[in-house]
Amino acid sequence: MKPQALIAGVHEFPERKTTKSMLEIQALSARAALEDAGLTKNDVDGYFTVAPNPGIGPLPIVDYLNLNPKYIDGTTIGGSSFVAHVNHAAAAIAEGRCRVALITYGSTSRSSGVAVGTRERISGDYLDQFEALFGTSTVGLYAMVARRHMHEYGTTSAQLAAIKVAASQHAQHNPNAMLRNPVTVEEVLDSPMISDPLHRLDCCVISDGGGALVVVAPEVAAGLSRPTVSVLGHGEAPKLADNGRIDLTYTGAVWSGPRAFEEAGVTQADIDYASIYDSFTITVLETIEDLGFCEKGKGGAFVADGALLAPDGALPFNTDGGGLCNNHPTNRGGMTKVIEAVRQLRGEAHTAVQVPDCDIALVHGTGGSIGTRMGSATLILGQEDA
């Protein structure tokens, strides 16, 4: 089946600590992504972003970018937001609501001093009021998941550390990555304990950053000289706390993954490269299992055997260094996950980590917390003729 939409342009904002504003990051990224696609601001008739402004959503950003779109989407589901936006843009294009969709994001979380694994106090009624009352933190919730996985399946800290090791091996080739030095399993285990069993190097970085994507209709893509990437399949799914009866050993990927594979008409064996949301090492481990790349409970053995290493591992992942080493702006890592997958499919990743004959890539975003309530979004992309 021919794709109903294609990604024509991408740009990743290069600075990890900046003096620019969140709006400037998006404007610069939008301009660069449109130039990458061979289009201009005047071609844009659909706009998608995370909406940081209560009550009016993305309108201030639309105003700042001086756009006049026919279609606007401000869906916010954490780290999976921008993976979902690609699907929403493709759906809008298929319905004839727009022809050129621009997706942007910008964050200044590092320069603003956002701390890892912490949260602000929130007054009034809000969804996690019953957990937050007892002092839960982001890293604490993920540590709880890691401990449960260890209890159920015998997963070890060393196996989790292998995920960080793979990310660091890739990040050394990315001049913009925050953490470029390769690390060993022993160095991960020797790093300070943040929330048992997660060490500091099991946790993502906090950075400024962002980027932009341009998704277009097939007739627009046909007139472009730049190679485009086909949107083949997508799935979205929430996983909720179930009134306290939550099973911590799986994520929403158990539902979003099969939907994406079915729509794309491919299987796990067809995936050449994977961009997987990596807020913590345990996030990657459970996601790999839930997407069907190995049996439930076998993720530890899978990653410990070098499967994630590019270019020749069984499932090369996050070849830019991911959130664990490259960047992770305000819990919205889905944007850069899509960008790196596009690079791989275009053959534009660093030569040391470029996957040979990369025809089909998977992108997965995790939003919220896998320890409470979350949203998963899975996207399957292919070369234009895939």
Residue ending a domain, choose from 228, 263, 278: 228
CB 102, CB 335: distance < 8 Å: no
Asked if the structure places residue 316 within a domain, the reply is yes
Mark residue 209 as left, alpha or beta (left: phi above 0; alpha: psi -120 to 50; beta: remaining).
Answer: left
Which of these three, 228, 260, 293, is where a domain ends? Answer: 228
Report the chain's mean pLDDT, rounded to a whole number. 93
Q: Is residue 61 one of the residues assigned to a domain? A: yes
Q: Is residue 1 part of a domain?
A: no
pLDDT digits (tens, 9 = 90+) for 116-140: 555 544 444 556 666 767 778 889 9
Shared domain check, 289 and 156: yes
Q: Answer whether residue 290 is part of any domain.
A: yes
CA-CA distances (angstroms) from residue 12 to 22, 36, 296, 310? 14, 11, 34, 21
pLDDT higher than 80, residue 59: yes
Q: Write out pLDDT tens, residues 4-16.
A: 899 999 999 999 9
Q: Specify whether 194 is located in the same domain as 74.
A: no
Residue 129 belongs to some domain of the structure: no
What is the pLDDT at residue 386?
55
- The enclosing domain of 263 has a CATH number of 3.40.47.10
Distance, CA of 316 to CA of 307 (rounded, Å):
7
On whether both 251 and 324 belong to a single domain, the answer is yes
Do residues 148 and 239 both lie within one domain? yes
The reply to whether 197 and 290 lie within a common domain is: yes
Rounded Cα distance, 129 and 295, in Å: 35
> What pLDDT digit, counting tens, does each position of 257-287 carry?
999 999 999 999 999 999 999 999 999 999 9
* End position of a domain, from candidates 194, 228, 262: 228
Largest CA distance in the chain: 57
* Rounded-to-integer distance, Cα 312 and Cα 328, Å: 25
**Same domain membership, residue 286 and residue 355:** yes
DSSP assignments along 127-185, one per residue: TTHHHHTTT--HHHHHHHHHHHHHHHH---HHHHHHHHHHHHHHHTT-TT-S--S---H
Residue-level pLDDT at 242: 83
Q: Please list, in sequence order, all residues whose beta carbon lies within 8 angstroms of the beta carbon of residue 378, skipping any fewer than 6 positions away.
A: 83, 234, 235, 236, 253, 256, 257, 259, 260, 291, 362, 363, 364, 365
Structural domain containing residue 93: 6-111+208-228
Do both 220 and 157 map to the same domain?
A: no
Q: Are residues 252 and 154 in the same domain?
A: yes
Same domain membership, residue 83 and residue 165: no
| DSSP, residue by residue, 56-83 | TTTHHHHHHHT---SEEE----GGGHHH
Is residue 121 a part of any domain in this protein? no
In this structure, the answer to whether residues 170 and 265 fall within a common structural domain is yes
- Asked if the model's pLDDT at residue 328 lies above 60, the reply is yes
Residue 118 lies in a domain: no
Query: Is 0.85 topped by the overall pTM?
Result: yes
In the chain, the number of structural domains is 2
Query: Within this chain, do residues 218 and 94 fall inside the same structural domain, yes or no?
Result: yes
Element (H, E) at 244: none
State pLDDT tens for residues 185-233.
999 999 999 999 999 999 999 999 999 999 999 999 999 999 999 999 9
153-171 per-position pLDDT tens digit: 999 999 999 999 999 999 9
Same domain, 29 and 73: yes
Rounded to whole angstroms, the Cα distance separating 173 from 326 reads: 10
Q: What percent of the chain has pLDDT over 90?
A: 83
Residue 151 belongs to a domain: yes
pLDDT value, residue 1: 53
